[in-house]
Amino acid sequence: METKSAEWIEATEAKIREAFDLFDTDKADAIIQEEVGTVMCALGAFPTERALVLEILPAMQDDEPTGFVSYAKFEKKMLQILASKEWDPDSGDVLLQAFRTIDTENTGYISSELMEELLTTRGTPFRPKELEDFLKMAKDPETGNLFQRTTLLCILRCITQSHSVGYSSV
């Protein structure tokens, strides 16, 4: 991993603090461990559930896990993760191939029911609010389907929004 400049470290620390503070609602300088993945996504890092549970959370927790992650440990691990770019988001080409894999009949769309099933039963499941927000953006109001172009634009917009806040472009 390349050495990052003092400016990069300073800017990244500020962005990590900003994202962390959104979830540290009682200002205890700690967040519940279930929110770590969400904060990481806001910072532009998208680990697998397996990596989060088996690698990342243990590195962020104290010797005796309390269910909370302190800011100091979160920041230290996030600086490493963001510098390594290990969990950067997939490219548009990868997302397009994933959509085409789901769209087995090559229709250019998939049903919202199928997408809902996939998003709630595979990989890291969406929470109800995340699913609602995603479907609100991606689902065609007339047909109820998710068209390839609209769906990919919604996914890329979500990734870009975390970048435009500066989180993953640090």
Residue 125 Cα to chain centre, angstroms: 12
Using DSSP's 3-state secondary structure scheme, residue 152 falls into helix
Task: Tell me how far apart the alpha carbons of residues 161 and 22 are, in angstroms, rounded to a whole number.
Answer: 16
pLDDT, tens digit, 9 for 90 and up, residues 85-132: 888 877 778 788 888 999 999 999 999 999 999 989 987 788 888 888
If one compares 163 and 65, the residue with the highest pLDDT of the two is: 65
What confidence score (pLDDT) does residue 157 get?
67
pLDDT band with cut points at 50, 70 and 90 for residue 162: very low
Please identify which residue in the block is written with the tokens 């979160």: 74
Dist CA 54 CA 42 (whole Å): 20
> Residues 31-68: pLDDT tens digits?
999 899 889 988 888 888 888 989 999 999 877 678 89
Q: Are 152 and 96 in contact (CB under 8 A)?
A: yes
Query: d(Cα 5, Cα 40) in Å, to the nearest integer?
Result: 21
Non-local CB neighbours of 112 within 8 Å, separated by 6+ positions: 135, 139, 144, 145, 146
Average pLDDT over residues 150-160: 71
Confidence of residue 163 (pLDDT cuts 50, 70, 90): very low
Query: What pTM value is reported for the model?
Result: 0.63
pLDDT of residue 89: 72
